[in-house]
Structure 1
Amino acid sequence: MSFVLKYHCYLLSLMLLLPALCYSQDFLCSRATYYGSPDCLGTPTGACGFGEYGRTVNDANVAGVSRLFKNGTGCGGCYQVRCKVPQLCTDDGVNVVVTDYGEGDNTDFILSPRAYTKLATQDKSAELFAHGVVEVEYRRIPCRFSGYNLKFKVHEHSKYPNYLAIVILYAAGQNEIQAVEFWQEDCKEWRGMRRAYGAVFDVANPPYGDINLRFQVSGRMGMTWVVANNAIPSDWKVGVAYDSQIQLT
């Protein structure tokens, strides 16, 4: 009887310990894999709509996510990911930027080959790639883009002057863009832009002249609106990213 009681106590202690191992220091347990890319960079056709930025931002240490995509508000989020394969994985793992949507084998992260390589210790990346899918732990971290202000890029789908689509780049900190609005001068009011897909917001028949924007940010400080005056010039060009002079933290 004493042995049975001790055995049950051991199992209970183990059950209580396992979640602590997975959720310690703000890390959550999951799985990660990688996608094929001949140049080891990201993809320009990602679901966030980042284009070339999504291929090369953060030195191409990028990822597609599923549950963390959040209908597009998760685009641009930064995470520390580290794998848990003994003798193969580094202690720090890799810091990635979310630039795409992707579903794997019960994975939260589909990493670019460059990012997946950084999970491994020196000379062990080939062995890690052979696993295909690995157990990982991850946590949200602030995005840091040294030397860059937040930018508004006129998306390639835009048609001057009748249709404007934008995507916000270099959103630093632990922030998520929830909504974007433009100032309608003749009505003296802010009007919402549609989230077309991912991180792309659009509007038909945008106002003439320089366009003032404001965007709703959710982060550590809660929900707030940030105004960017003259964010888009009157003669805006497709594919150009305009500097906002704004630094999110």
Structure 2
Amino acid sequence: MALSLLCFVLIATFLFMQTLADTSCTDCFVQSHASFYPNSEENGTDTGACGFGSFGATINGGDVSAASSLYRDGVGCGACYQVRCTNSVYCSGNGVTVVLTDQGSGDNTDFILSQRAFSGMAQSKDAATSLLALGVVNIEYRRVSCSYPNKNITIKIDESSSNPHYLAFVLWFQQGKRDITAVQLCETQNFVCKLLDRDHGAVWTSTSPPSGPLTLRMLFSTEDGEDTRIVPVNNIPENWKAGDTYDSGVQVDQ
């Protein structure tokens, strides 16, 4: 009898712990607040802390946002979030998907949305006007995969670069639900690699970069510490120039 009772207790404990594991998810919504850029155009800013430049104002159709703690010293740049306000009078159930392109904090807010994105949480144009009048709204958010149909990860050489002495670049169209946590620059011929510095935001830099055609190795990491290395199909040419963009030839689905 005692043995049967002990088995029952062990099974019940296991099922309880399994239930706890199943209910703790990374896809759950987090409660917070959001405001919007009050003095901006409808889209985002082209001087954001992520270093995306004018691309950061128009990516994702202009549905972009600054973030405070989610910026994570630049690691959060390029991440996508589903953000929806919770006022049932004005807000839609789906909300809006935004890309983080800047750092900023407001009145206890996690997000400072572009006006386009802030309005995109509303049920209608009239409701959007009412939301903008409120200025700050209660929201809930969760991390989601970034998706850019027919777009590969793209390497944008920063205008401050000078071949062959200094190379700085940002990665456009970061896809999936992973963070880019490290980047190596490799000589294509002998694959000698150099670990790059995160200068600020999403800007990666190297003084005295390797010579010849160059290959990147990017480390994509999940929130639970799972790492995946991605090597682009296409190379950065030997005669790379400041301001140019180069298609990596790869997409990341997860």
Q: TM-score range by the shorter chain?
A: 0.7 to 0.9
Counterpart of 2:72 in structure 1: which amino acid?
K
Q: C-alpha displacement at 1:219, in angstroms?
A: 2.8
1:30 aligned to which of 23, 29, 32? 32
Q: C-alpha displacement at 1:162, in angstroms?
A: 1.0
Q: CA 1:25/1:228 → structure 2, altered by over 3 Å: closer, same or farther?
A: closer
Deviation string for 1:125-162 (max 9, x for gaps)? 12111111110000111000011001111012212221
Percent identity for Structure 1 against Structure 2:
42
Corresponding residue for 1:90?
A: 92
Corresponding residue for 1:156?
A: 159
**1:1-249 residue pairs with structure 2 within 5 A?**
26-122=28-124, 123-184=126-187, 189-219=192-222, 222-228=226-232, 230-249=234-253
Indicate the larger mover: 72-81 or 215-224.
Answer: 215-224
Q: CA 1:246/1:185 → structure 2, altered by over 3 Å: closer, same or farther?
A: closer
Deviation string for 1:2-39 (max 9, x for gaps)? xxxxxxxxxxxxxxxxxxxxx99611100000003543
> What SS does the aligned partner of 1:124 have?
helix
> What SS does the aligned partner of 1:136 have?
strand
Q: C-alpha displacement at 1:40, in angstroms?
A: 0.7
CA contact (8 A) 1:152 1:231 kept: no
Query: If the length of structure 1 is used for normalisation, what is the TM-score?
Result: 0.86
> What SS does the aligned partner of 1:139 have?
strand
Q: C-alpha displacement at 1:186, in angstroms?
A: 9.1
Structure 1 ranges of 4+ moved more than 4 A:
184-188
Distance (whole Å) between structure 2 residues aligned to residue 194 and residue 77 of structure 1: 19
Distance (whole Å) between structure 2 residues aligned to residue 25 and residue 227 of structure 1: 28
Q: CA 1:188/1:40 → structure 2, altered by over 3 Å: closer, same or farther?
A: closer
RMSD of aligned Cα (Å): 2.0
Q: CA 1:77/1:146 → structure 2, altered by over 3 Å: closer, same or farther?
A: same
Query: If the length of structure 2 is used for normalisation, what is the TM-score?
Result: 0.84
Q: C-alpha displacement at 1:228, in angstroms?
A: 2.5
Unaligned runs of 5+ in 1: 1-22
Count of residue pairs brought into register by the alignment = 227
Higher strand share: 1
Counterpart of 1:26 in structure 2: which amino acid?
C
Distance (whole Å) between structure 2 residues aligned to residue 135 and residue 38 of structure 1: 21
Distance (whole Å) between structure 2 residues aligned to residue 212 and residue 162 of structure 1: 17
Q: C-alpha displacement at 1:175, in angstroms?
A: 1.4
